[in-house]
Amino acid sequence: MKLQDLDPKIRAELEALRFAPEEGTVVAEPCGRGYGYWAGGAKAAFDAESGLFYLFYRQRAPLEASRGGECFVAASGDGLRFHDIWKATKEQFAANSIEVGCPVRDPSGEWRLYVSYEFSQGNYWRVDVLRSPSLERLEPQDRRTVAMPRDLGLFFIKDPTIYLRDGRYYAYLCVSPQRVLRSSEEGAVRTVVGHDATALMISEDGLHFQELRYVFEPTGQGWDGVRARLNSLIPLSKGYAVPYDGGSTAYDMYEEQCGLAYSEDGLAFHRLTPDGPWISSPYGCVRYLYGLRVGDEVFYYYEYTTEDGSHQLRAMRVRAPI
């Protein structure tokens, strides 16, 4: 599917969401300069009660250094300028590396932070949840696991994107794909099909997730063929705009590019950018693009490759199309 195949109203709304990532506000600088230093992996929440934005992000160093060594929650009154209110280290999670986390406020008023990390005692990625009356008081020692890869027959499960809809928790998770290699008819040649996919788990309470379904998978073809990581669902007048990360090689694990998909129901997703990324950086990539709709505005948070090869965490505010 291409953008021009959609209903004209939806197409106009999607086109209005496009922005220039190089113009974004820098929220956090990386902890070092050069390839492998990243600030990002961000997800955000808006608290209507206080009028504050909350943003999770992590700092990462190269593989030979500390990897994802620290994570943060930051607060903001305008959604663009943030200050840190909470911090944790990978040692507090018994982790080799921390990746994406997602803050969510439960209807009870409790705050939850869903965090993915590579557990050092098994070298596998999992998702845990931290719970507290306020994000400033989160305690890593009190975390509990909500998604364990071995329970589901997966190699890994990470990068949670969590939404509350119709009183239920919808967790979109990056997981190992159903197919990794495809053999030829002769059996002597194998073709890479995918390195990651997106699965959906639904829960009544956000703590017990039992069933997993694949909703967005790599195609094995094109610029985004071996990666399929959904990063956010942005509400439209009908359905959702869905930024995702794609790539065509193993190297793209570190420099994925941002594509755009569309979904009517949050269950089936259709790629709209078959010819190349939706947005990018002239120096590399835009990835982990999270779009948060607040009233008549959309706030974007994303990793942006700079001229020296490191990744800044940036933010951009655009007028919502409806």
Domain-wise residue ranges, the chain: 3-179+190-319
One-letter identity of residue 153:
G
**Would the pLDDT of 299 be above 80?**
yes
Q: What share of the chain is helix, strand, coil (3-state, %, to 5)?
A: 10, 50, 40
User: Residue 320 — very low, low, confident or very high, per pLDDT cuts 50/70/90?
Assistant: confident
Is residue 215 within 8 Å of residue 199, measured between CB atoms?
yes
Question: Could you read off the pLDDT of 153-185 as tens digits, one per residue?
Answer: 999 999 999 999 999 999 999 999 998 888 877
Contacts 24+ apart (CB under 8 A), 116-124: 116/157, 116/158, 116/159, 116/160, 117/68, 117/90, 117/93, 119/93, 119/94, 119/95, 120/94, 120/95, 120/96, 121/94, 123/96, 124/149, 124/150, 124/155, 124/156
Tell me the Ramachandran region of residue 89: left when phi exceeds 0, alpha when psi lies from -120 to 50, beta otherwise: beta
Question: Could you read off the pLDDT of 22-48 as tens digits, one per residue?
Answer: 999 999 999 999 999 999 999 999 999
How far is Cα of residue 313 from the mean position of the Cα atoms in its chain?
Answer: 13
Grouping H, G, I as helix, E, B as strand and the rest as coil, residue 29 is: coil
Q: Look at 5 and 77; give whichever has higher pLDDT.
A: 77
Q: Is 3-179+190-319 in CATH node 2.115.10.20?
A: yes
